[in-house]
Amino acid sequence: MQYHTMIGGSSPPDTSKTTKLERYNSYIRRVNSTKLLQASSKLLFRVTLLVALILIFFFTINYPPLSSDHHNIHSTQNFISSAFYGSGAAWEKQVRHSSTPRRPNGFSILVTGAAGFVGSHCSLALKKRGDGVLGLDNFNSYYDPSLKRARQQLLSKHQIFIVEGDINDAQLLNKLFDIVPFSHILHLAAQAGVRYAMQNPLSYVNSNVAGFVNLLEVAKSADPQPAIVPFSETDRTDQPASLYAATKKAGEEIAHTYNHIYGLSLTGLRFFTVYGPWGRPDMAYFFFTKDILHGKGINVYVTQDEKEVARDFTFVDDIVKGCVGALDTAEKSTGKGGKKRAPAQLRVYNLGNTAPVTVGKLVGILENLLSVKAKKHVIKMPRNGDVPFTHANVSQAYRDFGYKPTTDLATGLRKFVKWYVGYYGIESRVKGVIDSTTNEHSHD
Ligand SMILES: O=C(O)[C@H]1O[C@H](OP(=O)(O)OP(=O)(O)OC[C@H]2O[C@@H](n3ccc(=O)[nH]c3=O)[C@H](O)[C@@H]2O)[C@H](O)[C@@H](O)[C@H]1O
């Protein structure tokens, strides 16, 4: 896929020890210059250099890169840079201000992956109803980081601050929990995408397994312990079809352990192919729109026996409602000081649209909205972990918090296309969509 090739081809940032040392020394020098204004002696510099060397060694043994891919490089960089971001009084004030609720009994929620697609929508919805929301995101380059920055700007307009850091950074997480007694964590930071797992498997382990465990480790010792929603995004069977699904399944098993041993209240949500405004450019509906408008061919997959593939495409506003419903019904964790006091809540829900649509139909809807005929290449689905069909049973989410999706694919895609042409400044090319779109809910 073109996006993936582009990412793989981007030049990784320089992480040589010299660069880290220079960056760290410059940080140390800045700290020292405020604390000990006049004391810039040679001796102090030597001590600083020694401390820097020890710390870099410490970082290296505690955070071994899982591979040389750019995601892990980002994690390592964020670990070091967070020491700088997390040190100022102004930074702490922003953290506190953003996470303070503005309604009686409001939640104080840490949203990981807040600059992501679902994370940004949920953050806005929660903030709008008066909850305190603090974002955390590592702004990695799995897809165009400028889209993540634009979401960050939107959130910032609504007084939501996003801390730039990684869920693998225990020091940063502990610092955030020292500053804010979070009532909930909405954990949406993950390596997504089914097909990209073939190219960069360790990125999935790093975010979806190691990062998740790191977050649970911090949450288990926090006082009060937060409730965590969701701990997983997707899985479909006990025999996952892709590494992506396997890491999500592992997340569910790990969650069970932390619930059982430490009394953390945990809720897993399995999202089914979420789409909508501010969506992810690596997903088919998004790059089909782009390619159709550019007159480029698109690959429409069929199964090995040439049947159509279908997805339970779910509009992002419905997913937000599900996330909020799960948060509102999450019980308190029961542990304290790393010890469980009583059994705690452990739940898993499907959040889907319950109405699968074939990829052919998806393309037909886009052709109508864009008034352009797609150049379709019908090909057999590569054997890379994709499944032919998804269909969510949401009866438990309905029973427990009234989850009921209300947006069909044609309505949701119209809202997406309206956002797309506005965001990329090409309104004139698909005018009909703008004129006929009413009753906008999504944050665009
Ligand atoms: O809910 C999930 O479990 C996952 O949803 C999403 O995966 P998918 O459902 O596979 O969505 P997406 O890639 O948009 O492909 C849509 C359809 O187009 C087909 N497809 C895809 C590419 C292509 O070139 N041609 C094509 O026909 C393809 O075969 C598929 O039938 C998230 O990316 C993932 O992170 C995870 O959240």
- Name the pLDDT band for 386 (thresholds 50, 70, 90): confident
Per-residue pLDDT at 436: 55
Of ligand 1's listed atoms, the one at least distance from the Cα of 301 is 27
Does ligand 1 come within 6 angstroms of the Cβ of 299?
A: yes
CA distance 87 to 6: 35
Of ligand 1's listed atoms, the one at least distance from the Cα of 233 is 37
Q: Which of 304, 359, 409 to mutate to test the pocket of ligand 1 (most atoms within 8 A of CB)?
A: 359
Per-residue pLDDT at 428: 87
- Provide the CA 380 distance to its chain's centre, in angstroms: 30
Does ligand 1 come within 6 angstroms of the Cβ of 309?
A: yes
For range 13-31, the mean pLDDT: 38
Active site residues: 244
Q: Which of 289, 291, 386 to mutate to test the pocket of ligand 1 (most atoms within 8 A of CB)?
A: 386
Does ligand 1 come within 6 angstroms of the Cβ of 246?
A: no
The rounded Å distance from CA 358 to ligand 1 centre is 11
Does ligand 1 come within 6 angstroms of the Cβ of 311?
A: yes
The rounded Å distance from CA 283 to ligand 1 centre is 6
Does the structure show a pLDDT above 90 at 152?
Answer: yes
For range 28-36, the mean pLDDT: 38
Does ligand 1 come within 6 angstroms of the Cβ of 159?
A: no
- Name the pLDDT band for 434 (thresholds 50, 70, 90): low
The rounded Å distance from CA 273 to ligand 1 centre is 7
Atom 8, ligand 1: residue with shortest CA distance: 273
The rounded Å distance from CA 355 to ligand 1 centre is 16
The rounded Å distance from CA 135 to ligand 1 centre is 26
Which of 241, 265, 239, 277 lies closest to 341 in space, CA to CA?
265
Atom 15, ligand 1: residue with shortest CA distance: 284
Whose structure tokens read 């041993």?
261
Range picked from 31-45, 115-129, 382-396, 421-435 for highest mean pLDDT: 115-129
The rounded Å distance from CA 331 to ligand 1 centre is 33
Of ligand 1's listed atoms, the one at least distance from the Cα of 234 is 3
Atom 4, ligand 1: residue with shortest CA distance: 273
Predicted confidence (pLDDT) per residue in 245-263, tens digit = 899 889 989 999 999 999 9
Predicted confidence (pLDDT) per residue in 263-322, tens digit = 999 999 999 999 999 999 999 999 999 999 999 999 999 999 999 999 999 999 999 999
Per-residue pLDDT at 286: 98
Instruction: Kindly give, in sequence order, each residue whose CB lies less than 8 Å from that of residue 428, ignoring residues fewer than 6 positions away.
Output: none
> What's the pTM value of the predicted model, to 2 decimals?
0.81
State percent of the chain over pLDDT 70. Answer: 75
CA distance 174 to 335: 17
Of ligand 1's listed atoms, the one at least distance from the Cα of 309 is 31
Beta strands in 281-361 (DSSP E): 297-302, 310-311, 314-315, 346-351, 357-358
Does ligand 1 come within 6 angstroms of the Cβ of 193?
A: yes
Predicted confidence (pLDDT) per residue in 321-376, tens digit = 999 999 999 999 999 988 899 999 999 999 999 999 999 999 999 999 999 999 99
The per-residue pLDDT of the chain, averaged, comes to 81
Phi and psi dihedrals of 301, rounded to 5?
-75, 145
Per-residue pLDDT at 385: 73
The rounded Å distance from CA 25 to ligand 1 centre is 45
Check whether the bond before 224 is cis (ω within 30° of 0).
yes
Q: Identify whether the C-beta of residue 309 lies closer than 8 Å to the C-beta of residue 284.
A: no
Does ligand 1 come within 6 angstroms of the Cβ of 204?
A: no
Report the interhelical angle of 359-370 vs 284-293 (nearest 10°): 40
Does ligand 1 come within 6 angstroms of the Cβ of 389?
A: no
